[in-house]
Amino acid sequence: MDAMSASGTNWARSSGLSRAGRSEAGTSPGTLVIDPDALHPKVTVMGYGAGDELLEQREVDPATLADLRERWPVLWVDVVGLGDVDTLRSIGVAFGMHDLALEDVVHAWQRPKCEPYDGQIFMVARMPPHDDGPDEQLSLLLGPGWVVTFQERPGDCFGVVRQRIRREGMRIRTSGSDYLAYALLDALTDSWFPVVDRCALQLEALEVRVMARPGPGFVEQLHGTRRELLDTLKLVRPLRELLSELAREEDDLITDATQIYLRDCADHVSLLVESAESQREVASGLLEMHLSFVSQHMNEIMKVLTIIGALFIPLSFIAGLYGMNFQDMPELAQPWAYPAVLTLMACTAGGMLLFFRSKGWIGARSRRR
């Protein structure tokens, strides 16, 4: 997939323009419409506390989640795949999810947001694309002692969080579910930096090419990078609003200590946004520079053609003068007439070239200008 088609796919996906999985107009709120391409849900849980006990299970039956929720001080339920209504409703019942929150999980084209419910906080964010695919919605539900995450497909950025949970003595093992939610959002934020860094490297390579008169495909590659930066900004800016809102949230679910970390994470997103905006300005500057070079090159071509045309104006006049069919043109009968006319033409052309050079229109002075 080339840069243009990939960026276009990401834009359509992240903008919610895809109709798959979207409710029909007039459908009752809370109705779950499953995307036919969605994967069957697979549930993974991690449970831990301040001690050395740790639970990590895959392919968990949703019917056991309510019991696990009561047994572990902090429980993380990770659901990958949104293709089965019964499984999702069972998970929703186990954690008391609001119907509207569950609907937002299934309709995975939501704008990043933060919505408080009774004793819960529901969040939606976007994960960067994997393997040239579209970006992915991450839905996160925070409750007292538990966090539930919903992902559309396998592959995420939470490996570092899982490693921290497995290690005893880490801050996350001695903190509550609010800190776990922060750790997940922080890992999500960090996963966007390589996207911007990759765009920066692409722009550096394009900057080298633009100075060397790039060939075909340059504008398409530049537009693809610029489009990717625009998509990134569109998805990351709301994440900053989400984190800032969480940091100000007056809710018992989020402690004052965790709010400090959330503010720091919001600062990281601000840095990410500023970097992406800066790179987008660089991309716009490269496009303007390229167009300027193209215009300059066209001007050089037109100048050469104009000079050639100007040289032939007096030569054509001389040739036309002596090509007239008059009977009384005495010099034409002289043996030196033909060489004289050629010499006159050569001197005229040479004189004009010297004049053009003295004006700086051709030669070294022209190149310096």
| CA atoms within a 13 Å half-sphere pointing along the CA-CB vector of 125 | 27
Q: Select from 3.40.50.2000, 3.30.210.10, 3.30.470.10, 3.30.460.20 the CATH code of 3-290.
A: 3.30.460.20
- Cα angle value 281/285/291 (rounded, 5°): 145
Element (H, E) at 129: none
The residue extents of the domains of the chain are 3-290, 325-368
| pLDDT the model gives residue 24 | 59
Q: Say yes or no to pLDDT of 29 above 70.
A: no
pLDDT in tens, 56-99: 999 999 999 999 999 999 999 999 999 899 999 999 999 999 99
Query: How sure is the predictor about 7, in pLDDT bands with cuts at 50, 70 and 90?
Result: very low
| pLDDT the model gives residue 60 | 92
| pLDDT the model gives residue 15 | 45
| pLDDT the model gives residue 27 | 63
Give the chain's mean pLDDT: 85
pTM of the model: 0.77
DSSP label of 211: T
| pLDDT the model gives residue 251 | 77
pLDDT in tens, 215-256: 778 888 888 899 999 989 998 999 988 898 888 877 788 999
Q: Say yes or no to pLDDT of 18 above 60.
A: no
Q: What average pLDDT does this structure show over 245-272?
A: 90
Contacts of residues 69-73 at CB distance under 8 Å and 24 or more positions apart, as own/partner, are 69/94, 69/95, 69/145, 69/146, 71/47, 72/47, 72/48, 72/145, 73/47, 73/48, 73/49, 73/145, 73/176
- Lowest mean per-residue pLDDT among 4-13, 63-72, 116-125, 277-286: 4-13
Round to whole Å and give the CA distance between 233 and 245.
18
Contact 310, 230 (CB under 8 A): no
pLDDT in tens, 103-119: 999 988 888 899 999 88
| pLDDT the model gives residue 162 | 94
Q: Name the most confidently modeled range: 141-150, 160-169, 219-228, 353-362.
A: 141-150
Query: How sure is the predictor about 290, in pLDDT bands with cuts at 50, 70 and 90?
Result: confident
| pLDDT the model gives residue 126 | 92
Residue 329: C-alpha distances to residues 24, 316, 360 (Å): 93, 18, 40
pLDDT in tens, 40-53: 999 999 999 888 88
| pLDDT the model gives residue 10 | 46
What percent of the chain clears pLDDT 90, i.e. is strictly above it?
44
pLDDT in tens, 341-360: 889 889 998 888 888 888 88
Count of C-beta atoms within a 10 Å radius of residue 138 = 23
| pLDDT the model gives residue 191 | 93
